Amino acid sequence: MRKQIIIGNWKMNGSLLSIKSLCESLNKLSTESLSADMAVCVPNVYLSYVSDNIKGVALGVQNVSQYDDGAYTGEISVSMLKDFNCQYAIVGHSERRALFGESNIDVALKAKKATEAGLCAIVCVGETLEERTSGKLEEVLKTQLSTVLNELTLNQLRNVIIAYEPVWAIGTGLAATASQVQEVHAYLRSIVTNFHVELAKNIKIIYGGSLKPSNADEILKLADVDGGLIGGASLCGKDFGEIVKHAKAVKNAKHVK
């Protein structure tokens, strides 16, 4: 039984004031929602504040350096993150791939560095609309995922969550349909099964791309969906809370079967 996890990606949004009120909403939620794991990936400058002011919600970041330390201006290392009780690091978000030129191997090396240090790496994979419509969906996803599978040890892979995020669904309001999501998640799990059967049974594959309270139930209850990575809706405590409640209900429903 894989436990559902709902992870917020705040991106480069918020201010000290808005983050204070978001932390207050999340703190209320955390006492009510113990059967779904929750994490928020915050802008680095707010790590210390969120770490000191949040309870029952794990802390994460949106990127991490593939290097240990040294002359890498602007980068943040895993050991710095651990100083702030950070447990999760998103790697390979499509915005980092598209806007900051991160390659599949960069993403794999970041995932390796994070998991080596005991952080959970949330590895994002996903196709553009052009790749999907031109029949390259499977090839693109296989290359993105295989680079990570081949670079990490089995123990490191046990600390990886795969996030399927179709690029065309991120921030557009246009989520993938339930059948598109299940089809891709089953495909991703089959790639992991070919690599290692036990890993495939346990690895979480979460969905991201315009997930919101209105479509969370339908998507989270799919057989191969183990949670969600939430952008826009994670900035509103009420919406994030409703998605967490759906995850909790789905968990109970899947458990009963």
Binding residues for ligand PEP, per CB under 6 A?
Answer: 9, 165, 170-171, 208-211, 229-233
> Shortest Cβ contact with ligand PEP: which residue?
231
**Euclidean distance between CA atoms 189 and 154, whole angstroms:** 15
Is 210 a known ligand-binding residue? yes
Is 209 a known ligand-binding residue? no
Is 232 a known ligand-binding residue? yes
Q: Which is nearer to ligand PEP, 116 or 218 (CB)?
A: 218
Q: Which member of 93, 127, 131, 246 is catalytic?
A: 93
Least spacing, CB of residue 55 vs ligand PEP, in Å: 24
Q: Which is nearer to ligand PEP, 42 or 229 (CB)?
A: 229
Is 56 a known ligand-binding residue? no
Chain centre distance of CA 135: 25
**Euclidean distance between CA atoms 166 and 38, whole angstroms:** 22
**Catalytic residue status for 183:** no
**Catalytic residue status for 196:** no
Using DSSP bridges, classify how beta strands 86-91 and 160-164 pair: parallel, antiparallel or unpaired.
Answer: unpaired
Strands (E), 107-183: 120-125, 160-164
Contacts of 188 (CB under 8 A, 6+ apart): 125, 141, 145, 162, 164, 205, 224
Least spacing, CB of residue 71 vs ligand PEP, in Å: 30
Q: Which two tokens stand for residue 130?
A: 């052009």
Is 126 a known ligand-binding residue? no
Residue 16's CB is within 10 A of a number of other CB atoms, namely: 9
Least spacing, CB of residue 169 vs ligand PEP, in Å: 6
Least spacing, CB of residue 119 vs ligand PEP, in Å: 18
Q: Which member of 127, 165, 185, 246 is catalytic?
A: 165
Q: Which two tokens stand for residue 185?
A: 């998640």
Q: Which two tokens stand for residue 223?
A: 């057989």
Give, for 5, the enclosing helix (H) or strand (E): strand 5-9
Q: Which is nearer to ligand PEP, 122 or 157 (CB)?
A: 122
Q: Which is nearer to ligand PEP, 152 or 163 (CB)?
A: 163
Residue 122's CB is within 10 A of a number of other CB atoms, namely: 29
Instruction: Please enumerate, by residue number, every residue annotated as part of a binding site.
Output: 9-11, 171, 210, 231-232
Binding-site residue set for substrate = 9-11, 171, 210, 231-232
> Which amino acids are annotated catalytic?
93, 165
